[in-house]
């Protein structure tokens, strides 16, 4: 969308950068900006019309979550079905997200080029998110999974960040060798590898 004036913003544009990533730039006017960059999920192709279902699902899985304003398509906005989501705001773990449906032929869907990382302090947390989110066993590798909408997530133990910051190359090699064999991360196994046990 060209940079210009629209009913929802006096200055708005939807652009693609040199790496192929999409950005929506919007002048907020007098509205308070609570988060400068908001990940926005477009439900298109086979999952067009499932944005509301997905938002409800994600906010049930993550804590400190809620659903904000929802704007819907009306009559005469075909090919989008009346009542589906034109734009919706929601938060997961206090982070703002947005979602929209689009029935237009975009020729793209969610893929591994974009993923959301979930940092976990315990194995129990890892197990919880893995059980709730993973819907494609073939996509499970090295802490990565795909949910039922095709969106990729990385479920990672916070302790692994500390391990990977270390300077001991032997420890790093052992941890790397251990996690490359894993689908869902196992904290005890990673710690044993790090310690050389």
Whole-angstrom distance, CA of residue 64 vs CA of residue 61: 10
| Whole-number pLDDT of residue 167 | 86
pLDDT: is 6 or 81 the higher one?
81
pLDDT classification of 126: cutoffs 50, 70, 90? very high
| Whole-number pLDDT of residue 192 | 94
Whole-angstrom distance, CA of residue 153 vs CA of residue 114: 9
Mean pLDDT throughout 182-196?
Answer: 95
Count of other CB atoms within 10 angstroms of residue 174: 19
pLDDT higher than threshold 80 for residue 9: no
pLDDT in tens, 140-169: 999 999 999 999 999 999 999 889 888 889
Q: How is the chain split into domains, by residue range?
A: 4-102, 115-195
CATH for 4-102, options being 3.40.50.10490, 3.30.720.100, 3.30.2130.10, 2.60.40.10: 3.30.720.100
pLDDT classification of 78: cutoffs 50, 70, 90? very high
User: Span 115-195: which CATH code?
Assistant: 3.10.180.10
| CB of 152 closer than 8 Å to CB of 110 | yes
Percent of the residues in the chain that have a pLDDT greater than 70, as a whole number: 100
pLDDT in tens, 26-63: 887 777 888 899 999 999 999 999 999 999 999 999 99
| Whole-number pLDDT of residue 48 | 95
| CB of 155 closer than 8 Å to CB of 133 | yes
| Whole-number pLDDT of residue 101 | 96
């Amino acid at each position: 969308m060209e940079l210009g004036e629209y009913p929802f913003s006096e200055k708005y544009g939807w652009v693609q950068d040199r790496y192929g990533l999409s950005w929506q730039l919007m002048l907020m006017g007098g509205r308070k900006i609570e988060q400068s960059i908001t990940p926005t999920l477009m439900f298109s192709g086979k999952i067009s019309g499932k944005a509301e279902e997905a938002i409800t699902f994600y906010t049930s899985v993550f804590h400190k979550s809620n659903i904000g304003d929802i704007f819907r398509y009306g009559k005469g906005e075909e090919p989008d079905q009346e009542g589906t989501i034109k734009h919706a705001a929601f938060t997961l773990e206090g982070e703002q997200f947005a979602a929209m449906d689009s029935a237009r032929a975009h020729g793209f869907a969610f893929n591994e080029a974009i993923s959301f990382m979930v940092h976990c302090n315990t194995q129990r947390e890892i197990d919880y998110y893995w059980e709730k989110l993973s819907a494609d066993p073939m996509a499970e590798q090295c802490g990565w999974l795909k949910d039922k909408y095709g969106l990729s997530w990385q479920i990672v133990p916070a302790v692994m960040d500390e391990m990977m910051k270390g300077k001991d190359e032997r420890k790093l090699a052992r941890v790397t060798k251990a996690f490359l064999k894993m689908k869902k991360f196992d904290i005890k196994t990673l710690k044993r590898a790090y310690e050389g046990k």
